[in-house]
Amino acid sequence: MSRLEPVFSACRAESRAALIGYLPAGYPTVEGSKDVLRTMVSSGCDLVEVGLPFSDPVMDGVTIQRAAEQALRGGFRVRDLFGVVESVAAAGGRAVVMTYWNPVLAYGVDRFARDLAAAGGLGVITPDLVPDEGAEWIAATDAHDLDRIFLVAPSSTEERIALTARSSRGFLYATSVMGVTGARDVVSSAAPALVKRVREHTDMPIGVGLGVRNGAQAAELAAFADGVIVGSAFVSAVQDDTVAALTEELASGVRQAAAAV
């Protein structure tokens, strides 16, 4: 059973996509990230992705790299992650964690899953773990009843999309462009085609991310995806102190698509 199923079915009942917002834990500080995430939840994120800052984030563009660096320089420790997740749950929000694989290995694969589940986390997105290498992770997430979200990309073959869909639970993360995180001016044309291909393999919800930064883009993605994932734009909004406004804009964006249909 998927822990995230209620999130997506509630959105589906409103004929809209879910808004999924990302923020690195520990950014700008541990307490500061709890505040920002609470604002994201109360202003309209259906789900938050709590990022685990990592020293070598190869899938991230410069905005998230800098935020992770700042968190680590501020003394962020992996154990702080669980407190951040707990505070989201306590505020009535729903949280998954987004993490590179090495910190999970270092913490202990089963221990990580156990402690995250205990903190109220619902699942984990692993951008540099493919299902082929995921046997231990699949066992741990099964044991602790966490969703596991693997990624598909425009370059994924049909065979790999099928494998990834089979191995995931909760939703599938479709990276809409070939590239790293970072806000972009235009939504990629590869995204609709990728989502269409993925739907031939699964009826699991599909979240689309990479590059979204405003309500119009969110509306565009919401027309064909089940979840719209926004990352770098939230990090920038923390700097500009516009998190609530951005969340509201994106939340109305994911609702516009339904209105337009």
| Residues engaged in binding other proteins (CB under 8 A) | 54-59, 61-62, 65, 69, 72, 77-78, 101-107, 127-130, 132-133, 150-157, 160, 164, 175, 177-180
Question: Min. distance of Cβ 153 from other proteins in angstroms?
Answer: 4
Tell me the C-alpha to C-alpha distance, in Å, between residue 133 and each of 111, 127, 174, 253: 18, 12, 19, 37
Nearest to other proteins of 175, 247 (CB atom): 175
Q: Which residue has the tokens 């804009």?
A: 249
Q: Which of 31, 35, 46, 49 is catalytic?
A: 49
Question: Min. distance of Cβ 128 from other proteins in angstroms?
Answer: 6
Question: Min. distance of Cβ 251 from other proteins in angstroms?
Answer: 28
Element (H, E) at 14: none
Question: Min. distance of Cβ 101 from other proteins in angstroms?
Answer: 5
How far apart CA 27 and CA 36 sit, in angstroms, is 9
Q: Which of 5, 35, 60, 158 is catalytic?
A: 60
**Is 60 one of the annotated active-site residues of the chain?**
yes
Nearest to other proteins of 2, 181 (CB atom): 181
How far apart CA 58 and CA 129 sit, in angstroms, is 12
**At a CB cut-off of 8 Å and minimum separation 6, what does 102 contact?**
54, 56
**Is 49 one of the annotated active-site residues of the chain?**
yes
Nearest to other proteins of 13, 79 (CB atom): 79
Q: Where does 52-123 have alpha helices with state H?
A: 62-73, 78-90, 101-107, 109-118
**At a CB cut-off of 8 Å and minimum separation 6, what does 79 contact?**
none
Nearest to other proteins of 114, 160 (CB atom): 160
Question: Min. distance of Cβ 174 from other proteins in angstroms?
Answer: 10
How far apart CA 127 and CA 124 sit, in angstroms, is 10
How far apart CA 187 and CA 223 sit, in angstroms, is 12
Nearest to other proteins of 105, 216 (CB atom): 105
* Residue numbers annotated as active site: 49, 60
